[in-house]
Structure 1
């Protein structure tokens, strides 16, 4: 309870700070008044159409990635696992890249996030088909690696053959990940998909606890491993696909946050999912605030900052695991 209370006390001020920080600092009183549609019409527009969607998406994207990462690590029983392992983020990125390259993203506001969600859904179909109905964790990992490699190769091919340098430039910047210039339309697109992912993954706590004791023990406790794997793949795809559809590729959140919070929950996968959702929200909100304060005139991308933070942590984690090996 103390951990969850502490995380809430971290997330809520970060949400408030996200509403106040921007190109122009707004006094809290004026910002709050504008948030409820009163006061200067320009401030109302800024708060309701720019900063509020950005704060909501920052919390939602972080929570989705943190929750998916905790579930994936619990299923694979590996602290180095992350939600992109089954190829969802790579396929979602490929869908978005195709929407940008073909011009659909410019013609239809819903084309880019819709294509990204379609790519995420396709990744589940491919991974489950390749892993087979009775495939275990290793088969799921190998299938995910294959799908990620294929999606990455096709994305590179699109960039390589792109005749339009402006489209290629837009693709590159989109793949860096960002919450800038997002609207309530993006919120309406992403939140239902992420909510579906939460509903799918949340009941898996008992199964993941049993699985931590071994697959045989889990099966003896009445846990259906094929059903658990199916729900894990569907829930992770919904969470990561929804996040990627509106924010681009944001890495390392699903890897770093569950690992930082694992000791605080005693290694319980069920409790870790709830804590990681809040921890992920805090991390993305803090990073999004930082990109607005660090080089604001250069538009530092959110995914770049999370990678700069996450990559050294990942290397530290590998080195620590290597020292623990006999």
Structure 2
């Protein structure tokens, strides 16, 4: 069996990686104005300060990098959470960090810090994610079961949502309220390399923590008692999964806002291709999430709508019907 799966796994990962590369290049090519990417890249390499080089470096490259990184984070986290919870309906937001990160960014808006310096917004999001992460890690470190972690995530999301609504209600300016609402919809527009440099280390930390638990997730499919008898530390598994998800999702929301359904849709599409093994699904879902996010962001820019649609709106339009179809299928299987 292993001889059969290993080549197919490499082929799947290679194909998804190639797709991400193609979409990354497409993201560099697509914009509101034509751009000679080859010429702009040559200007960058030779240090020529041209308009094309500036557009490529300051606008399109950060957008493409964040599209790939945010999508990879959401896809990987969705697979990790579904494997940990043994629930096909789990998604990256289940740990509650995304709501806390959004609240932190909203408070940066509300306090006026976002107008003082450009990185106040993602820093506020990271601060909110850090507080939520500290709480979740404390619970996981104390040996808390998976069900209690889920309840803690639900409570965090509910509290963060309520406080975000309160901030919107008390906002002194309708323009500030509108700006907050637009940010909450999720977008990769107008991001810079500073945003990439700020978020990428946290995302990478989350990737490492989640990719290392593949064997544990495979064992967990046999039940917690069986996994423990195989030498899997359930406490360490929950700690790595929760900490990794918090770091990756918190950083993603801090720089891009709320982009939903990627972590729910992608694992379901790819699960049959990996033999329904949670460990094999992790890396595949990461690349799949990157591909879906880059494709959706390209579609946002190609759509003849100005101002452009928010990326979170597009992913919701894709993911919501899929979610309903999934619920319908699960209901029929239960019957």
Same-fold call, TM > 0.5?
yes
Partner of 1:71: 80
Give the CA deviation at 1:198.
Answer: 1.2
Give the CA deviation at 1:224.
Answer: 1.3
Q: Give the TM-score, by structure 2 length.
A: 0.93
- Structure 1 unaligned residues grouped into runs of 5+: none
Give the CA deviation at 1:34.
Answer: 4.3
Do the aligned partners of 2:104 and 2:126 also contact (CA within 8 Å) in 1? yes
2:46 and 2:70 map into 1 onto residues whose CA distance is: 26
Do the aligned partners of 2:141 and 2:235 also contact (CA within 8 Å) in 1? no
2:38 to 2, 24, 29: 29
Change (3 A) 1:40 1:99: closer
Partner of 1:16: 25
Q: Is 1:273 matched with 2:268? A: no
Partner of 1:226: 235
Q: Is 1:142 matched with 2:180? A: no
CA-based RMSD of the aligned residues comes to 1.6
Partner of 1:177: 186
Partner SS for 1:261:
helix
Partner SS for 1:319:
helix
Q: Is 1:303 matched with 2:312? A: yes
Partner of 2:128: 119
Give the CA deviation at 1:9.
Answer: 1.9
Partner of 1:166: 175
Give the CA deviation at 1:130.
Answer: 6.1
Do the aligned partners of 1:128 and 1:140 also contact (CA within 8 Å) in 2? no
Q: Is 1:53 matched with 2:62? A: yes
Per-residue CA deviations over 1:232-267 (Å, capped at 9, x if unaligned) read 111001000111111000000111001110010011
1:233 and 1:40 map into 2 onto residues whose CA distance is: 44
Partner of 1:7: 16
Do the aligned partners of 1:34 and 1:47 also contact (CA within 8 Å) in 2? no
Do the aligned partners of 2:41 and 2:53 also contact (CA within 8 Å) in 1? no
* Range 191-200 or range 126-135, more displaced: 126-135
Give the CA deviation at 1:8.
Answer: 1.5
Partner of 1:243: 252
- Structure 2 unaligned residues grouped into runs of 5+: 1-9
1:33 and 1:183 map into 2 onto residues whose CA distance is: 20
Partner SS for 1:298:
coil
1:289 to 298, 315, 323: 298
